[in-house]
Each structure stands twice: as structure tokens, then as C-alpha cells.
Structure 1
């Protein structure tokens, strides 16, 4: 009975297999039947297909060679480059990136997260931001290399890095990294050398001034005018040296130089204008103030006086005669639970900044287009001509930054003149006696 059942099952299985083969042959016959009448056409197409295949192979070889060329260029580039996939796994990096980010322990072909290899959350956030926005992004930060040996960590200096990231296909991101630490060290060494030189110049300049003052009392006209001219030039050099030392101190340790107190902004600006009234009246220039009548900020009064003195003095010198310098103050509400800030706009009616000058107006010793100045040579030696050293706006910027604020230089769309916008935090109260801090 068992054998009979086995034979019966075998017969059923063989019958089913034969039926499948029949159906397969029938299907193949239906597929190949339309091609049987065009065999001659297929024979003509085969050489063309072979030619296309050869072209595709050549293009593939060319692309592979081009890719190798680009990799070689990136390998020996003076900046670092790395590339990650959609999961932030490191795909490739050049030698400069290995040195800057200490990636010597990573080898091509390894699958490891970039954050495991480089303990830099700034770099990781930059990559995520690039992938989310699908636009190039830039960031500058201080990178602290991580080492397993604690002694090695204490010996390695942090690096100032600047990265520019680009979105690529399939969620990948490429990042170019520049080591800005050598440039920063060079600037610090330059500033230190200039500061040492300024310190050394103060004593001989003071001695020269004493000698000139002695000669001034003894010289008779017309020779006394040369002594007066010499005294003006010595004063200008002394002011230049003092300004440089002050700027260096602000950059080195800005907060320790501040003596904060409650300062009423409108009264401070008007007191600055009173000191500049003789120069302003000479050219029929007036001031127009708009904004809160009584607004207080927590700031260093003497430093803020210096800020508005430089800004208003510049506005007077570059304004056209019989015009008005506008000073507009307003409170800007804070965003994302931040404190409100005070925005002060100083707008003149001169020729404004040239487009080439705008990115550099706050750089030390930068002198803009002299064609827009209407100051005559006789005025360049006046008491208010001291900002002509090229350090005035640089000092203003450092004082504003020390207060936690910001300053921007623009051209006003209506007056066409220079537009300096100062934004300061630390509002104590306004005319409505509302406390903000």
C-alpha cells in the first residue's frame, strides 16, 4: 500500500512537471515569433550596438580618469577637504584634513561616523545645516583636537578653523576646511610689535613736544608759524600712538576697560554735539534727533561719549554745507525671549561710502575715498581732525563690541549719505519707566 501511494505521487509530480515545460515552451514561442521575421534587421543592429558599447566603455574610462585627477588635486590642495554620506559617515578626506582634524587613525574603506573620529559638534552641525537647507554654508570656530593621552592634549594648541560646506547628490556633503591659526598668530605678532613700538614712541614724542613748546615762546613771526605747524604734527603723532594703544587694549581685554553705569542716551548725544558745535556752525550743519526723550542704558559713559564723538565728527566732515545730520533712536523688541536692544542710526547727507570702501570702513588704518571729503587742508589740523588717522572707526567698533553690541556701515537710500547703525543691549528704562533688565 505504501509503494502504491509512492508511485501515485510520483506520477502526479511527473505529470505536473511535464505540464510546466509545455507551458514554458508555449510562452517562449509566443515571445520569439515576432522576432523570427526580423532576423535580418537584428543582424544589422548588432554592429551598431557593439559600437555604442565601446563608446560607453571609453566614457567610463574617461570619467574614472577625471575622478582620479580631481582626487589627486584635492589630495595635494593647501586646504582640507572631506566628504560624508547621508548618514554622516566619512567617505574620503585629503591629507590636509587628516593633519588638521587628526584623522590619521582613519583608513579609506572604513565605515565610521565623522563625529566618532572628529569631536567637533560645530562641524557636525554645519554638515546637518547644509543638508537641510541644500545651500552652501560657512562657519568659523576654535577646534580643540582630542587625544587619548592627557599629556598630549595639554601640549596641542587649539586651531581657528573656517569651513565651507556644499550639498552633493544622494544626501552627501563636501566640506572645505581652512586653517586660519597661522594668520591669527601672524596678526597677534604684528599687533604686539606695533604695541611695543607705540610704547617706545611715547617718551621721545613727549620730549619733542616739550622742546617745541619752548621754541614756540621764543620764535617771532613769520617763523613762529613753522613751530606751530610742527606742534600740530607732534600732537597728531601722539594722538595716533595713543589711539593705537587704546585699540590694542580694547582688543586684548575689552570688558575690563568698561565702567558701566546708567547713561541717558539723548543727553549724552547732545553733549557730544555741543563739543562739536564750532565745527558744525562753520558749515551751517545742524542735528536732528528723533526717538525716546528719556532712555537709559547700562554702559560706560566715557566710552560711549567717545563712540558718538567719532561718529558725529565724521558725519560733520563728510556732510554737505547747510544740511542736517539725523540721529534716530528706537527700541527693537527682542526675539526668542531675548532682551530688547537700542538701535541708533546716524545719517548724513554727504556722498556716502563707495562700494569698495564699505567692507573695510572698520579696519584699522583704512582710509576711504578722499574724493568724498569736503574738508579743506586748513581744517586737517584742527582739534577734531584726529580721526583722520584711520583708527577712529576701528576704536568705535571695539567699544561697541565690548558692550555686547554691533555696528554697521551703509548708505542711506533717501539722503545718499553715510548711514552708521549702532545696536546696543542693556536697556535699563525708557520714558515709560519700564524696566527691561
Structure 2
């Protein structure tokens, strides 16, 4: 009986195992059957191919991970700072330069913390939000004031001028490159201070040289006095250059120290400037055409505004072809003013347009920079033969001084090329308009 029960159990077990194998074979046939429904063979060669594909994907993943680590190592030694935040403005990663620029001593690699907890900079936070909202790269400059835990560290910590370039990434992330511009600004300040010291030292010997030249002018007869006259022109040019540099440096340091505002009528001032320059204009048969209000007043420094129009009209004369007209167009603009009790305020706009060759596209962004010399196409032989000593001829400081004077008055200045004449177009906007009358055109 015992043997019979064992055999019966063994037969049942073998039968159940055979049934399981049959069910497993049917399942594999359904899963691995080929795309062709007419074939019922199991495609066993697919299994090695799948293993090869899986191995290839693993290798590609390892290569991508290695490339990512390589890029992170490159960014970590890059001269620019770089940081990356997620969609919630949590700092995911930053390189060594970013940690130094933003004083991120509390952040350690691998940490994920809110950027605002580590860096108290509204400008940086706002830049990231704007980049994420518009999904466009953006650039912003500001002065970063690091936050310190104690007063002693605050005295030792220096503010930095930063330029940030941001760009959107996937899943709401944003990457930001940071450039510390403070060393460049410090170097420019040292350069300007050195030039100013040198200019101060040059004024005394140049004045002495001019006195000697004046003495020689009275003692020499033609044709020898021709060389002395030429020497006098060059000495005056150097004196004007030195004085122009000193004025420009002082205005950039403290714009208000040079201003003595008073009520002044602008149209008569422009007429006075043209009378001074008219002998130069007559050599090329140039005319001045004014259009705008017959009388309008602004509150400004008369001598400084005279210097502005003297430089601008002198440049127009230099670069205008013979027998052409220089246009001066003035008009009063009404603009909304949200910072004053008066909801609207008057703005004076003056456009000076010549018919010369204009500015080249490469020169336009730099025309107001000191010592910038533009396209040689704007250089005329008449510039070298000019006998005018009332302006800074060819020094590269004229437009830079004009810009500083306009900015000191709270105005704006812009350089363009006029679409009709093709010549230079300088637009000056000044606030504090006091009165104006009806418009009138006259020459």
C-alpha cells in the first residue's frame, strides 16, 4: 500500500510538471512569436540581440556620464563663474569661480538648497525668474553687496560689479554665467587717476612753452613766423587736450560740481555758437537751417551747454561736404512723470543732422567713448589744415565731454545716421523746459 501511494503521488507530480511546461511553452510562443502571424516558431535569436542592445545602452550611458563629469571639471576651472538652479530656484551646482564671486562658503557640492538662502541678491533672483518666464537668454549688470554675519567681516568684504548671462534649460532649470568686472573697473580707475595726475603736471610746462612761442611770434618775420604759428596751434591743441581730459575726469567723478544752472534761452545760444563757427563754415559754403520753437527756455549751465553745441556743430562742419546745409531741429515733448507731483513734464529734443558720410556701424556704439577714433572715411584733409583753436580738434574727447555734460543735466544723447541725408544724426534730450512758443521754420 505504501509503495502504491508513492507511485500514485509520483505520477500526479510528474503530470502536474508536464502541464506547467506545456503552459509555459504556450506563453512563450505568444510573447515571442514573430511579426508575421503565419509563423509559429519561437524567435530565440532575438534574445542575444536584445542583450547586445542593452549592453550598448549601458555603454552610452557611461559615456554620457563621463562627458558630464568632464564638462563639470572644465566649468570648475573656468575663469567665469557658473551656477545652475532647478524650477524651484534651488541651487543644483556651481563652480569654484561662482563660489568665490557670490561668497558661497556655506554651500557644499551635492547639497540642494534655495539660492536665496545662500545669496541675498534680488538682481540675480529676478534675472533667473525673467529668464524662466520668457525662455530667452538675458544679460544684466549690477553691483553685488555680499551679506556678512558680523560687522568686522562686512568692513573687509568688498562690493563687486557683476555681469550675469543667463539662459533657460530643460524642466524649468536655468544656467547663469557670472563675470566679475570689478578688477577691470579698478584698473580703469587707476588708469584715469594716472592720466589725470599726468595732465595736471603737463599744464605748467605747456603754459611756459606757449609764453615762449608768443615771444617768438613778435620777433620773427615772414617766412620764419609761419613755423612759429604752426607751433602755436599745436601747443594750443595740447593745452585744450589736457584741459578737456581734466574736465571730463572731474565731471565723471562728480557731475554736479561743475554745474551752475540758470534760466537760459536755447535758440539764441545756438545762434551765438553758429556765429563763432561761421568763419569755418564759410570756407566750405555751409549753411545752418533751424526749425522749431522761436523761443524756449531751460534751466541749465550756460557755459556747459555752449560747449555742447560748440562741439556738435563743429563736428558737423568738419564732416559736411561743401555747399550743403546743417539742420538743427528743436521740439518740445510732453512725457509722463510718475516721480513728481506734476503728472506730465516737458522735454526738449534737439536734432543736429549733417549731410556727410555718417557713422559706420562699427563706430556707432563707441562714438561717445574717450579717445575713440572712428572710421578713416570720416577723416578729411581740412581737419589737418583747420586753424580753429576754440575746440578740441581731433583729440577724441569732444563727444565724450558732450555726453557727460548732457548726463549731468539729467538728459540723454544718442548718435545715429539720418535715413534721408545719410549723414551723422545727433539727438539731445534735455529736461527742465520752462517755456516755449509756437513752432516756426527759418534759416
TM-score normalised by structure 2 residue count: 0.87
The C-alpha deviation readout for 1:184-206, integer Å capped at 9, x for no partner, is 11110111111111111111111
State the distance in 2 between where 1:31 and 1:352 align.
Answer: 84
State the distance in 1 between where 2:94 and 2:278 align.
Answer: 62
Give the match for residue 396 of structure 1: 402
- For structure 2, list consecutive stretches of 5 or more residues without a partner in the other structure: 1-23, 35-39, 340-344, 439-443
Residue 52 of structure 1 and its aligned partner are, at CA, apart by 1.6
State the distance in 1 between where 2:297 and 2:325 align.
Answer: 25
SS of match in other structure, 1:419: strand
Contact 2:127 2:166 in 1 (8 A): yes
State the distance in 1 between where 2:71 and 2:119 align.
Answer: 24
The C-alpha deviation readout for 1:236-286, integer Å capped at 9, x for no partner, is 111111111111101111112111122222222222112111111221111
State the distance in 2 between where 1:173 and 1:45 align.
Answer: 43
Give the match for residue 381 of structure 1: 387
State the distance in 2 between where 1:277 and 1:237 align.
Answer: 24
Give the match for residue 261 of structure 2: 260
The C-alpha deviation readout for 1:288-311, integer Å capped at 9, x for no partner, is 222222332222121111111101
Cα distance change on mapping 1:378 and 1:164 into 2, 3 Å: closer
Q: Are 1:148 and 2:156 counterparts?
A: no
Contact 1:313 1:384 in 2 (8 A): no
- Stretch of structure 1 that moved more, 272-281 or 236-245: 272-281
- Where do 1:232-247 residues align within 5 Å? 232-247=233-248
The C-alpha deviation readout for 1:358-400, integer Å capped at 9, x for no partner, is 2221111112123323342663332355231111011011111
State the distance in 1 between where 2:32 and 2:367 align.
Answer: 82
Give the match for residue 77 of structure 1: 78
SS of match in other structure, 2:188: helix
Contact 2:167 2:175 in 1 (8 A): yes
Contact 1:83 1:91 in 2 (8 A): yes
Give the match for residue 128 of structure 2: 127
Q: Are 1:420 and 2:420 counterparts?
A: no
State the distance in 2 between where 1:291 and 1:62 align.
Answer: 70
Contact 1:135 1:166 in 2 (8 A): yes
Contact 1:318 1:375 in 2 (8 A): no
- Cα RMSD (Å) of the superposition? 2.3
Cα distance change on mapping 1:310 and 1:160 into 2, 3 Å: same
Residue 37 of structure 1 and its aligned partner are, at CA, apart by 5.5
Give the match for residue 371 of structure 1: 377
Contact 2:28 2:42 in 1 (8 A): no
- Where do 1:209-288 residues align within 5 Å? 209-288=210-289
Q: When the two structures are aligned, how many residues end up with a matched partner? A: 407
State the distance in 2 between where 1:151 and 1:297 align.
Answer: 49
Residue 331 of structure 1 and its aligned partner are, at CA, apart by 3.2
Give the match for residue 5 of structure 1: none
Residue 118 of structure 1 and its aligned partner are, at CA, apart by 0.8
- Stretch of structure 1 that moved more, 53-62 or 258-267: 258-267
Residue 320 of structure 1 and its aligned partner are, at CA, apart by 0.8
SS of match in other structure, 2:373: coil
SS of match in other structure, 2:66: helix
State the distance in 2 between where 1:425 and 1:46 align.
Answer: 81
SS of match in other structure, 2:146: coil
Aligned equivalent of 2:416, options 405, 410, 413: 410
- Stretch of structure 1 that moved more, 48-57 or 303-312: 48-57
Aligned equivalent of 2:357, options 351, 368, 371: 351
SS of match in other structure, 1:43: coil
The C-alpha deviation readout for 1:73-97, integer Å capped at 9, x for no partner, is 1100001111111111111110011
Give the match for residue 24 of structure 1: none
State the distance in 2 between where 1:188 and 1:231 align.
Answer: 33
The C-alpha deviation readout for 1:381-422, integer Å capped at 9, x for no partner, is 323552311110110111111112221211111111111111
Contact 2:237 2:393 in 1 (8 A): no
- Stretch of structure 1 that moved more, 334-343 or 93-102: 334-343
State the distance in 2 between where 1:330 and 1:43 align.
Answer: 88
TM-score normalised by structure 1 residue count: 0.88
State the distance in 2 between where 1:397 and 1:191 align.
Answer: 17
Cα distance change on mapping 1:175 and 1:332 into 2, 3 Å: farther
